[in-house]
Structure 1
C-alpha cells in the first residue's frame, strides 16, 4: 500500500460513534479484514473473556479478559492473534470525548496498557455498554435519540477514564510537571513536523527550556529533545514499514527538506538507515 489506510468514522455512521459485540469466531476474522490501519477516532475494547494481542505503533500489546483497552486516534495498529475472545468494540468521535477524559487517556508518553478489571468494575462497564448498544440500535427517529446516545457514550467513557485514573494513580500526578508534560505532548503531536526545537515548545508553554526539560525528566525520565526525535522517528517508522513511500517522500512527510540529513538522523537514533529498517522489518 502506498499510504497507511485511515479509517474515518464519518464514513460508517453519522451518529459520531458505533458499537458492536464481538464473538469468538468473528474477532480474528474482523481483525484480518481491517488489516493494518489508523483510525481518526478513539477505539475502546471491553473484553469479557479470552485473550489476544495487537501491534500498536511497534509495541505488542497482550490483553486478557476481563479487561479494558483503548487505541488513540492516529496510532497504527492491527490484530496479531485472538483466542476465544468475547467482548465489545466501541468507536467514538474525538469531539465526543471530553477534554478532561482525553487527558487521562493520553497521559502516558509511552504506549498505553490494558486495564485489568475486577468483577464489579466489569459488570458496571458491561451494564453501561449494553444500554449504549440497545439505544444505538433503536429507532433513530425517536425523540432525543442522539442526545441520549451521546450521554450514554459519555457515561461509558467516564467510567473508562475513572478506571485508568485509579490504575495509574493519576490523582498523584496532577502536579505542575504532569500538567506541563500533558501540554507539551499535545503540542508535539500537532507540530512535530514543522517544529523540532525544544525552545519553540518552551516558548509556546511560556516557560523556560530548562524547566520544560526538568518537568519531562521528572514525569518520563527523558528530556524534550528525546521526545521530539521519538515522535519524528515513530511516524517515519510507521511510513517505512506500512507504506510504499520512498525515503525522500517520508523525509518530507516528517518535516525534512533534505532527505540525506533525515537519513543521517534516522541512522543515528535507530542504528540503521531507513532502507535497512524497511528491509529488516519486512522480511
Structure 2
C-alpha cells in the first residue's frame, strides 16, 4: 500500500459511534481482516473473557479478560490473534469524548496498557455496553435517539476513564510535572512535523527549557529532545513499514526538507538506515 489506510468513522455511521461484539456472527473475523490501519477516532475494547494480542505502534499488546483497552486516533495497529475472545468494541468520534476524559487516555508517554477489571467494574461496564448496543440497534426515528445514544456512550467512556485513573499514575495527576508532561505530549503530537526545538515547546508552555526537561525526566525518565525524536521517528517507522512512500517522501512527511539529513538522524537513533529498516522489518 502506498499510504497507511485511515479508517474514518463517518464512512461507517452518521451517529458518531458504532458498537459491536464478538457474539455477532462474523465480527471477530472482520476485525482480523482489517489489517494494518489507523483510525480517525477512538476505539475502546471491553474484553469479558479469553485472550488476544495486537500491535500498536510497534509494541505488542496482550490482553486477557476481564479487561479494558483503548486505541488513540492516529495510532497504527492491527490484530495478531483473537482466540476464544468474548468482548465488545466501541468506536467513538473524538468530539464525543469529553476533554477531561481525553486527558486520561492521552497522558501516557508510552503505549497505553490494558487495565484489568474487578468483578464490580466488569459488571458495570458490561451492563452499560449492552444498553448501548441495544439502543444503537434500535429504531433511529424514536424520540431522542441520538441524545440517549451519546449519553450511554458518555457513561461507558466515563467508566473506562475512571478505571484508568485508578492505575499507577493516578497519584501523580495533581503534580505540576505531570500536568506539564500531559500538556507537552498534546503539543508534540500536534506540532512535531513543524517544530523540533525543545525551546519552542517550552515557550508554548510558558516555562523554561530546563524546567520542561526536569518535568519530563521526573515523569518519564527521558528528556524533551528524546521525546521529540521519538515522535518523529515513530511516524517515520510507521511509514517505512506500512506504506510504499520512498525515503524522500517520508522525510518530507515528518518535516525534513533534506532527506539525506533525515537519513543520518534516522540511522543515529535507530541504528540502521531507513531502507535497511524497511528491508529488515518486511522479511
User: TM bucket by the smaller chain?
Assistant: over 0.9
Secondary structure of 2:196 counterpart: coil
Secondary structure of 2:190 counterpart: helix
Q: How many residues align structurally?
A: 283
User: Counterpart in 2 of 1:158?
Assistant: 158
**What is the CA distance between 1:231 and its match in structure 2?**
0.1
Contact (CA 8 Å) 1:115, 1:164: kept in 2 or not? yes
Secondary structure of 2:3 counterpart: coil
User: Counterpart in 2 of 1:30?
Assistant: 30
Could you tell me the TM-score, scaled by structure 1's length?
0.98
Contact (CA 8 Å) 2:54, 2:77: kept in 1 or not? yes
User: Counterpart in 1 of 2:40?
Assistant: 40
Two-structure CA RMSD over aligned residues (Å): 1.1
**What is the CA distance between 1:25 and its match in structure 2?**
7.5
User: Counterpart in 2 of 1:62?
Assistant: 62
Would you say 1:79 and 2:79 are equivalent positions?
yes
**What is the CA distance between 1:134 and its match in structure 2?**
0.9
Rounded to whole Å, the distance in 1 between the matches of 2:276 and 2:27 is 34
Would you say 1:224 and 2:211 are equivalent positions?
no
Q: Given the superposition, is the C-alpha separation of residues 22 and 88 from structure 1 closer, same or farther in structure 2, using an over 3 Å criterion?
A: same
**What is the CA distance between 1:26 and its match in structure 2?**
4.0
Q: Which runs of 5+ in 2 are unaligned?
A: none
The ranges of structure 1 where at least 4 consecutive aligned residues each deviate by more than 3 angstroms after the TM superposition are 23-28
Matches within 5 A, 1:65-214: 65-214=65-214
**What is the CA distance between 1:29 and its match in structure 2?**
1.5
**What is the CA distance between 1:221 and its match in structure 2?**
0.4
User: Counterpart in 2 of 1:14?
Assistant: 14
Could you tell me the TM-score, scaled by structure 2's length?
0.98
Rounded to whole Å, the distance in 2 between the matches of 1:35 and 1:86 is 20
Rounded to whole Å, the distance in 1 between the matches of 2:69 and 2:98 is 18
**What is the CA distance between 1:172 and its match in structure 2?**
3.2
Q: Given the superposition, is the C-alpha separation of residues 146 and 252 from structure 1 closer, same or farther in structure 2, using an over 3 Å criterion?
A: same
Contact (CA 8 Å) 1:24, 1:84: kept in 2 or not? no
**What is the CA distance between 1:171 and its match in structure 2?**
3.6
Contact (CA 8 Å) 2:20, 2:27: kept in 1 or not? no
**What is the CA distance between 1:21 and its match in structure 2?**
1.0
Secondary structure of 2:74 counterpart: coil
Contact (CA 8 Å) 2:28, 2:82: kept in 1 or not? yes
Q: Which runs of 5+ in 1 are unaligned?
A: none
Rounded to whole Å, the distance in 1 between the matches of 2:271 and 2:100 is 38
